[in-house]
Amino acid sequence: MSYDLLIVGSGPGGYVAAIRAAQLGFKVGLIEQYPVPGGTCLNVGCIPSKALLESSGAYESAAKAGSMGVLVEGLQADWPAMVARKDQVVAQNHKGLAYLFKKNQIDWIQGKAKLLGPGQLEVSGQGILAAKHLLLATGSKPASLPFAPPDGQNILTSTEALSLAELPKSLLVIGGGVIGLELGQVFHRLGTEVTVIELTDGLLPEMDRELGKELLRCLKKQKLGFKLGHRLEALKLQAGGVVAQGQDPKGNPFELSAEKALVAVGRKPYTSGLGLEEAGVLLDQRGFIQVDPQFQTNLPGVYAFGDVIGGAMLAHKASEEGVWLVEQLANQTPHRSTIPAVVYSHPEVAAVGLSEEQLKAQGIAYSVGKFNFRALGRAMAAGAADGFAKLLTDEASGKLLGIHLIGERVTDLIATAALALDQGLKAEELGRLCYAHPSFSEALKEAALDAWNHQSIHQ
């Protein structure tokens, strides 16, 4: 069987590209080493972590319900039930994807793929398959520390943390990045004593610095423990758990013990067994596949996208890249849209465009508009007064340059912000839109009015 397109990897990069390619009339084969589709995102990433965040969030809301006039007695966190629900959510999505593959006549090919050269792959159990275009979307795996290899029992990666049999009494989270903070919050809400050990002196260093500062303030208020500026040098197993050792910001030794440790120090490209070296595909120093702006590798007709090429490790980035690529292959004129960054902590964090630090570094003159959630009627009604909307605009033209949000539901709100930025709108245009009242979206309007002429209504 010869295909127009063979796609390796059924994560949000590969499967979305497969569906779009099939819609455009390509004959598509989707190759996946595991028996189920969805990649990191569906199986051990976005969806299971959000299912657990929702369950732990429901528990937390019930625990605080007294302040809302709701009396709850006998409240308990049933962790095994939460894990079982999470597994059900994932399984439902597997069924949904199988339906979509059938509907779009995509060939599901299970096996491990190895690149033989342009147009040819060998797939375990399937033999050699040929296609005009080969698309590699093999994603990423958790990175580990050389001195702290995960054992799956006490030193965990995010994958094991999502399916623990029991709630740990205490947890060290190594790394204050997105994954560590999200999972740390799940366990903290359910009663685990969580301490985050982070090398740098703040959270979310790649985002506008004000977001990380506000998130740190909120998480400390929730009583999550932080050891910022701490250099971890050893993580060892000991009776009853783990012990972490290293240096504090002053260079003094520190030692912390806990039942378990979650190593969340980033992710590395997953190219093992893919035959890239033998086929002569160029990788960068960190092992990511090198591509040109059209996602083409140095081999003709061989493309790569998603986590395996680096950049933001986000599911929607992988999907957007895949769609852009197959539309390009179908001779369409795809639009390269702005990729929002999101963190599903509580409060949530979301951003598009340039940060204040980036504008300063690029010497761009800008104005700032800001609006605090505590001045929003809806936020007060919801008991969710933390956070703000911050807009950065070009000083001369008023055109939006960056939108940075922290607060309730901002991972949904960011879609409006991304559209505004994508369409090159000015703060005035965003500010003059009518927003439903009372809604969290009003923070965006008010911040836009502030950025336009410093005349927000409620501040």
- Crossing angle for the helix pair 14-23 and 315-329, nearest 10 degrees? 30
DSSP state of 254: E
Most distant CA atoms of the chain, gap in Å: 67
Q: How far apart are CA 171 and CA 104, in angstroms?
A: 44
Asked if 12 is part of the footprint of ligand FAD (rule: CB under 6 A), the reply reads: yes
Q: Which of these is catalytic: 94, 133, 437, 454?
A: 437
Which residue in 274, 281, 350, 447 binds ligand FAD (CB under 6 A)?
A: 274
Q: How far apart are CA 218 and CA 208, in angstroms?
A: 16
CB 272 within 8 A of CB 285: no
Residue 151: both structure tokens together: 């054992």
- Read off φ and ψ for residue 240, nearest 5 degrees: 80, 5
Decide if 458 is catalytic. Answer: no
Q: Quick one: which segment of 92-100, 305-313, 376-384, 421-429 binds ligand FAD (CB under 6 A)?
A: 305-313
Q: Quick one: which segment of 44-52, 71-79, 294-302, 347-355 binds ligand FAD (CB under 6 A)?
A: 44-52
Is 59 or 344 the residue whose CB approaches ligand FAD more closely?
A: 344
Is 38 or 369 the residue whose CB approaches ligand FAD more closely?
A: 38
Residue 187: both structure tokens together: 């366990």
Q: How far apart are CA 179 and CA 121, in angstroms?
A: 33
Span 125-154, contacts to ligand FAD by CB under 6 A: 137-140
Is 50 or 374 the residue whose CB approaches ligand FAD more closely?
A: 50
Asked if 46 is part of the footprint of ligand FAD (rule: CB under 6 A), the reply reads: yes
Span 227-246, contacts to ligand FAD by CB under 6 A: none
Strands (E), 395-437: 400-407
Asked if 306 is part of the footprint of ligand FAD (rule: CB under 6 A), the reply reads: yes
Span 14-43, contacts to ligand FAD by CB under 6 A: 14, 31-34, 39-41
Which residue in 27, 85, 112, 132 binds ligand FAD (CB under 6 A)?
A: 112
What are the beta bridge partners of residue 434?
Answer: none
> Which position has the token pair 């990069």?
13
Q: How far apart are CA 229 and CA 210, in angstroms?
A: 18
Span 47-66, contacts to ligand FAD by CB under 6 A: 49
Asked if 113 is part of the footprint of ligand FAD (rule: CB under 6 A), the reply reads: yes
Q: Is 21 left (phi over 0), alpha (psi -120 to 50) or beta?
A: alpha
List interacting residues with ligand FAD (CB under 6 A). Answer: 8-14, 31-34, 39-41, 44-46, 49, 112-113, 137-140, 158, 179, 270, 273-274, 306-308, 313-316, 318, 344
Active-site residue numbers? Answer: 437
